[in-house]
Structure 1
Amino acid sequence: MPGKTWYLPESDRQRLLEAGRPQGGAIPAGTYARRILEQLLVDLSWASSRMEGNTYDILQTERLIKFGEEAAGKDRKEALMILNHKEAIQYVVENLDEIGLRRPDLFAIHALLSDGPLADPAMSGRLRAMPVGISHSSYRPLDDAVTIAEEFGVFLHKAARITDPFEQSFFLLVHIPYLQAFADVNKRTSRVASNIPLLKSDIAPMSFTAMDDSKYIDGLIGVYELNNVSLLREVYIDAYLASAEKYRILHTEVESPNKAAIVYRDFARAAVRRCVLEFKGFHHDDLMAMAIEAGVPDADLEGVIAYVGEQLAGLHEGNVIRYRLQSDDLEGLDQG
């Protein structure tokens, strides 16, 4: 029951959130996803394809995605699998404001991922209407089209009621393969879809690059055979923590410079010097008067003043040279 029972304990959800939250605080919805899209396309396309037996390495995957260069000696179906992932991930990120956990959204992801490999192309982007088996498992998914459609609706309803992004992500990773909603490509669909709640919450995605393939399969078998998510949960948590660390670093590297650092560079440096040498602290009203006198437009005033405050708070003996100050100048300075 969403909100009452949990696959992921609160302590684990908090640990995942702390790991996945971008450095530097809140940013506009979707911004994080668009900043790290290029790397996510390579990482998730490679890892998810690898988990299906694809033999492209990550460098070959990057060349295929960026330059359309197929690896020599490889089955073209492998290139198609990777390019399908690229299309599905791009679709999610480019439509992040509108996309959700609705029937058309998951159908679209499945359609993009299954473009080509299905024996019956008409089954791409639609629910399964025939029985299927699970390799290495005695579990038999539902085989009645009406019941499958009903259970898919129940699954979507429950998923939409989950408010925690990690619980929602893990729920998708469990239940799309368990239901086997589609004729094939269920696990791939679940891996891409499991990133929707993370990206919509502007936290680091799950790239699956660090996930142990055999433990992942064992985790799914535990779900199929025993209705037990414990092993898959352990694999998910470990893989996410590794993935989040990479994307936290990447986010820092691609962070766009503050406008004030470029457009109002000279003013900001002069303002910091005055805060240190004259005000001995951050004086908002005095800085505002300085900014107005310097001709800073009204629309930029608060942003520029906030930037000066950030620079002042981060001032120390190792970087005072930026402002043509000496370390002794910091004595008595209130940087609070």
Structure 2
Amino acid sequence: MNLYEKIDLYKTAIDELHPFEGELLTQIRNYFRISLTWSSNALEGNTLTEIETKVLIEDGLTVGGKALREIFEALGHANAYDLMFTLLSRREITEADTLAMHRALYKDIDSKTAGRYRDRSAIITGSQYPVCKVSCLPDEMKNLFSWAVNERDHYRPVEFAAQLHKRLAFIHPFADGNGRLARLLMNAVLIQDGYMLAVIPPKLRREYVSLLEQAHRDDRPFVEFIAERVLESEREMMRLLHIPRPSAE
């Protein structure tokens, strides 16, 4: 049994006992809101702990000694996460959705660049590959979402999610927040297809960054890395819901 077959086997086991809708959907949304916000920000250098993120988002209590930007990053990500769940009513991700999600992420950090493509050149530290030129950004983004519409059903859902992440990251359309946004879009398409979220813990940052860089040449290891994160979320959900491992595994 390969990785993707195991993911679908676990998904079936979860869906049979607890369909991905109603109360379970609400619980999943609440459960991952803190962990995804904390982990995604931590991958980018935010020093808030998971507990501090929870206190800030759920209780509205600020954390002493933390930079205001880090607080706004957590609040902005939580807002973008909530917006992500409004996309469940349709099985698509549009350019307008992407701009709105970035605006939610960055409106309190930099209102001038929030929800707008960058207007200057960018270099990704540590990468040997150039990102999209400013003059090509509008066309590249339109091409990205045209690809998403036309090619989505040609991939397994988890593979498509990883591909969307990779392609947006390579374009690097915004002045800041590209990694966070790529992970949000990836998870948006996962939940649209009824899959668990892919949460990348900070301890795996080096592997994650390395595989994303390698994906310029060979993206299979990166796609499999994302698939492993989905499988791990399924295992966690099965543990929380007391669902036994499938006998066919």
TM-score bracket for this pair, using the shorter chain length:
0.7 to 0.9
In the superposition, relative to structure 1, how do residues 20 and 59 fare at CA in structure 2: closer, same or farther (>3 Å)? Answer: farther
Give the equivalent residue in structure 1 for 2:229. Answer: 239
Match for residue 134 of structure 2 among 139, 144, 158: 144
Residue 119 of structure 2 aligns to a residue whose secondary structure is: coil
Note if contact 1:159-1:171 (Cα within 8 Å) is conserved in structure 2: no
Match for residue 172 of structure 2 among 175, 180, 197: 180
Give the equivalent residue in structure 2 for 1:12. Answer: 3
Give 1:219 shift. Answer: 1.4
In the superposition, relative to structure 1, how do residues 144 and 28 fare at CA in structure 2: closer, same or farther (>3 Å)? Answer: closer
Amino acid at match of 2:5: Q
Matched, 1:157 2:149: no
Residue 112 of structure 2 aligns to a residue whose secondary structure is: helix
In the superposition, relative to structure 1, how do residues 11 and 248 fare at CA in structure 2: closer, same or farther (>3 Å)? Answer: same
Give the equivalent residue in structure 2 for 1:51. Answer: 43
Report which of the two structures shows the higher radius of gyration computed on alpha carbons.
1
TM-score w.r.t. the length of structure 1 is 0.65
Match for residue 125 of structure 2 among 130, 135, 147: 135
CA distance in 1, matches of 2:82, 2:200: 17
CA distance in 2, matches of 1:77, 1:111: 15
In the superposition, relative to structure 1, how do residues 237 and 202 fare at CA in structure 2: closer, same or farther (>3 Å)? Answer: closer
Give the equivalent residue in structure 1 for 2:208. Answer: 216
Note if contact 2:76-2:104 (Cα within 8 Å) is conserved in structure 1: yes
Deviations 1:297-333 (A, max 9, x none): xxxxxxxxxxxxxxxxxxxxxxxxxxxxxxxxxxxxx
Please report the RMSD computed on the Cα atoms of aligned residues, expressed in angstroms: 2.3
CA distance in 1, matches of 2:122, 2:24: 38
Residue 166 of structure 1 aligns to a residue whose secondary structure is: helix
Note if contact 1:219-1:230 (Cα within 8 Å) is conserved in structure 2: no
Amino acid at match of 2:114: S
Give 1:86 shift. Answer: 0.6
CA distance in 1, matches of 2:45, 2:134: 29
CA distance in 2, matches of 1:20, 1:244: 7
Give the equivalent residue in structure 2 for 1:168. Answer: 160
Matched residue count: 238
Match for residue 85 of structure 1 among 72, 77, 82: 77
CA distance in 2, matches of 1:196, 1:30: 17
Give the equivalent residue in structure 1 for 2:191. Answer: 199
- 1:259-298 to structure 2, matched below 5 A, reads none
The percentage of aligned residue pairs carrying the same residue is 21
Unaligned runs of 5+ in 2: 243-249
Amino acid at match of 1:111: R
CA distance in 1, matches of 2:126, 2:114: 25
Give 1:12 shift. Answer: 3.2
Give 1:21 shift. Answer: 4.3
TM-score w.r.t. the length of structure 2 is 0.85
Note if contact 2:38-2:49 (Cα within 8 Å) is conserved in structure 1: yes
Amino acid at match of 1:188: R
Matched, 1:114 2:103: no
Note if contact 2:159-2:223 (Cα within 8 Å) is conserved in structure 1: no
In the superposition, relative to structure 1, how do residues 99 and 238 fare at CA in structure 2: closer, same or farther (>3 Å)? Answer: closer
The answer to which structure has the higher helix fraction is 2
CA distance in 2, matches of 1:215, 1:59: 25
Give the equivalent residue in structure 1 for 2:96. Answer: 104
In the superposition, relative to structure 1, how do residues 21 and 135 fare at CA in structure 2: closer, same or farther (>3 Å)? Answer: farther
Amino acid at match of 1:130: R
